[in-house]
Chain A
Amino acid sequence: MRFFANVPKRRKAMQFMTAAGIIILAAACSAEADMPETHIVEMHGLTFVPATVEAKVGDTVLWINTDVMPHTATAADGAWDSGMMEVDDEWSLLIEEAGEMNFICTYHPGMEGVITAE
């Protein structure tokens, strides 16, 4: 075990546990690799955070308004629209097809983001 050569005993144990944990996590991750994910986009400070979402078909994008004023999450091409989202409101969209979708807030010019789905 040269890898642990200069490490005190307690740290060895911790390193082992960390390594074991990483292996378990890795196993869990590969099992979940194809599970749909939820991507959270906050509306905050009159911006979408993050403004860029990379998703897969089957994933969900969840918008949460954590701002002081109402906003909307609306497809730039008009394909979908949350309608008015008051403070603390949430709205979600299931990604059904691959491609790039620009979204905006219809109230605030310049408040925009993009979903890239594959």
Chain B
Amino acid sequence: MIKQILVGVAALATATVSACASEVDDGGPSDMQIAHIAYTAGNIDIRYAHLALAISDNPDVREFAETMLRDHVAVNDAALALLAKLEAAPEDNETSQVLLSQALEKRNELKVLDGAAFDKAYAENELAYHQFVNKTVEEAFIPAADNQEFKELLGVALQTFKVHEGHAEMLVEKTK
């Protein structure tokens, strides 16, 4: 799944270059496409967290899910505030759609599980998901972002998600 999405991001980057060469001079997706993907990625983790809170009785899992909810809502709110300030609207794109359909599949996989099996699968998915998002934000989005404030917000998001990645690693150990 991760490979597929990375390919998607790369394809998007290429498509963007050919579609609006005049606007994009850095060979990456536009800021408003990145904003849409990042916002979507945050919402996906929020939905995983809601699922965990609905299914799991494990205090470590619930605590982790609560933190994902708080932080991803906060980062997404900060993104919306910045977009409002810039009077810009995020632009839907193929990568966002791929992310959404992959996440739907994953949620369907997770929601038939319960107990320790759910906890383990949720923890492993959180780790893989944050690893993928962090790699994409760090290697593709931050270098491609043009607006300085937007670049800085992506930096804050990356810092946050890296802490989540570390936290997810601990959760994987605990739910083994």
On chain B, the residues within 8 Å of A45 by CB distance are 156, 159
Q: Which of A68, A87, A109, A110 contacts B160 (CB 8 A)?
A: A68
Q: Determine if A107 is an interface residue (Cβ-Cβ < 8 Å).
A: yes
Q: In the bound complex, do residue B166 and residue A110 qualify as a contact, i.e. CB atoms below 8 Å apart?
A: yes
Closest partner residue, chain A, to B167 (CB atom): A109
Q: Determine if A12 is an interface residue (Cβ-Cβ < 8 Å).
A: no
Q: Determine if B7 is an interface residue (Cβ-Cβ < 8 Å).
A: no
Taken together as a complex, chains A and B put the C-alpha atoms of A110 and B41 apart, in Å, by 24
Q: Determine if B70 is an interface residue (Cβ-Cβ < 8 Å).
A: yes
Q: In the bound complex, do residue B163 and residue A108 qualify as a contact, i.e. CB atoms below 8 Å apart?
A: yes
CB distance from A51 to the nearest CB of B (A): 15
Q: Determine if B117 is an interface residue (Cβ-Cβ < 8 Å).
A: no
On chain B, the residues within 8 Å of A107 by CB distance are 66-67, 70-71
Interface bin, chain B: 10 to 19
Closest partner residue, chain A, to B156 (CB atom): A68
Interface size on A, residues (CB 8 A): 11
Closest partner residue, chain A, to B81 (CB atom): A68
On chain B, the residues within 8 Å of A110 by CB distance are 163, 166
Q: Which of A70, A109, A111 contacts B70 (CB 8 A)?
A: A70
Known: A68-B74, A69-B74. A108 touches B156 (CB 8 A): no
Q: Please, what's the 1-or-0 string for A59-79, where 1 marks a CB less than 8 Å from any CB in chain B? A: 000000000111000000000
CB distance from A61 to the nearest CB of B (A): 23
Q: In the bound complex, do residue B163 and residue A87 qualify as a contact, i.e. CB atoms below 8 Å apart?
A: no
CB distance from B74 to the nearest CB of A (A): 4
On chain B, the residues within 8 Å of A55 by CB distance are none
Q: Determine if B88 is an interface residue (Cβ-Cβ < 8 Å).
A: no
CB distance from B11 to the nearest CB of A (A): 31
Closest partner residue, chain B, to A84 (CB atom): B70
Q: Which of B75, B166, B167, B170 contacts A69 (CB 8 A)?
A: B75
CB distance from A97 to the nearest CB of B (A): 30
On chain A, the residues within 8 Å of B163 by CB distance are 46, 108-111
Residues of B within 8 A of A (CB): 66-67, 70-71, 74-75, 78, 156, 159-160, 163, 166-167, 170
6 closest A-B pairs by beta carbon, nearest first, are: A69-B74, A69-B71, A107-B67, A68-B78, A46-B163, A109-B167
